[in-house]
Structure 1
Amino acid sequence: MLNDEKITVPKFYTQINEASQQLKFNMPSDLKTGSLLRTLCASKPSGHFLDIGTGTGLSLAWMAEGANATSRMISIDINAEFQQVAVNTFAGDQRISIVCADGNEWLTFYDGEQFDLIFADAMPGKFEVLDQTLSLIKPGGYYLIDDLLPQPNWPEGHAPRVEKLVETLTRRTDFVQTTFNWSTGLMLFTKVAH
């Protein structure tokens, strides 16, 4: 019998979760989303991964556990207070660079290597500068977004933005996609190699 509720959490999950609660951070990554992230990162040995919306680092914990020793991860967020939890947690992990910056600006001006996976868990990279973000994905690389089903922390008027985003992404021909009516509502895209 399949049981998608039985999920082994990553090494730092409990520590980060407790710090998140102390800071009253109410936007943690869902366990199922995290488990999928870990699996996707494991599929790209020596991968280059981008986490948009560090928060306190829960999604980064999943990614770090799936990534192998020669992978590299960048995590960006504009909120230094929440992000400090991740900075402290992953201080010794040479694979990880944590950047405190405006996501839209960072994505607009980034000119480094493309990514094997981008997890867009914030407004930048999902609802803002979308085309620029998608251009940063390698052929065969993944783009994962979450929170597409109604969430208690959605701001007023957010539902039409989600509908428009889903419509926009569904029309793209440079990616193949799978929609998950599961977890918080996910869409997973793979960039087509031409």
Structure 2
Amino acid sequence: MSTSGTDAYDHHAPNDLPPLVRRALTAARTHRFPYSCRPEQGRLLYALAGVTHGPIGETGTGYGVGLAWLVSGAPPGTPVISVERDPERAATTAGLFADRPEVRILTGDWRRTADHGPYDLLVLDGGGTGKTPGDTPADPASLLAPGGTVVIDDFSPSRDWPPTHEGAVDLPRLHWLTHPALHATEVGLAEDLTTVLGRLTPPAPLAHGVIC
């Protein structure tokens, strides 16, 4: 969720965007919703969705801009689940994707994603990131398929280690970058925007020793 994500498309020619993204962007603008997925993030989601081999999940549908990037990039027929807390937004966005039977938009807390996993790609944008007080981070080991990827966006660049934000250690970002179940890294998308990507690591094989 980007605070000025919808406005970030003002300088992009409509023909440069997938049709589904244009449709969702129109809805976001109509409803004066500023928090859409930025185009830089959207293109990353498009690319990641294109190499998925199983279901895709998303938290925080909004008016479906990020979801549209995912669906546009995914192989045909890939199941995509998105969860939105606001009933009005969920209903409106479900209408936008009514002609895409592989897409389901659920109303409720982000934890509803657990009912439809595991996912090959999971985008945490509206809960489950640990960024806000009371928001428990999602458990990638229970939500991802083996080798699956989790995406946590909207971090500010930091050259420090541990990473900092506004003069303090960025604990949510550190949580994901050092998560024991993930191989994780940070990807810079713009001068003011980075994203954390984590791939679920397989469990270590049991050592076979000789007992004397």
TM-score under structure 1 length normalisation: 0.81
**Alpha-carbon contact 2:24-2:63 (below 8 Å) kept:** yes
RMSD of Structure 2 on Structure 1 (CA): 2.5
Cα distance change of structure 1 residues 144 and 161 upon mapping to structure 2, 3 Å threshold: farther
Which of 125, 138, 163 is residue 128 of structure 2 equivalent to? 125
Size of the aligned set, in residue pairs, is 178
CA distance in structure 2 between the partners assigned to 1:112 and 1:49 by the alignment: 10
Question: What is the Cα deviation at residue 81 of structure 1?
Answer: 2.0
Identity %: 24
Partner of 1:21: 29
Structure 2 unaligned blocks of 5 or more: 1-11, 158-164, 204-212
Q: 1:31 to 1:161 in 2, by over 3 A?
A: farther
Q: Is the 8 A contact 1:25 1:82 kept in 2?
A: no
User: CA contact under 8 A between 2:83 and 2:108: conserved in structure 1?
Assistant: yes
Give the 5 Å matches for 1:99-118. 99-104=106-111, 106-107=112-113, 110-118=114-122
Rate the CA distance shift 1:136–1:87 in 2: closer, same or farther, 3 A. same
Partner of 2:94: 87
- 1:168 and 1:19, CA in 2 relative to 1: closer, same or farther beyond 3 A? same
Structure with greater contact order relative to length (CA < 8 Å, sep ≥ 6): 1
> Is 2:170 aligned against 1:163?
yes
Higher Rg:
2
Q: Report deviation, 1:187.
A: 0.6
Aligned to 1:145: 152
Which residues of structure 1 form unaligned runs of 5+? 151-157
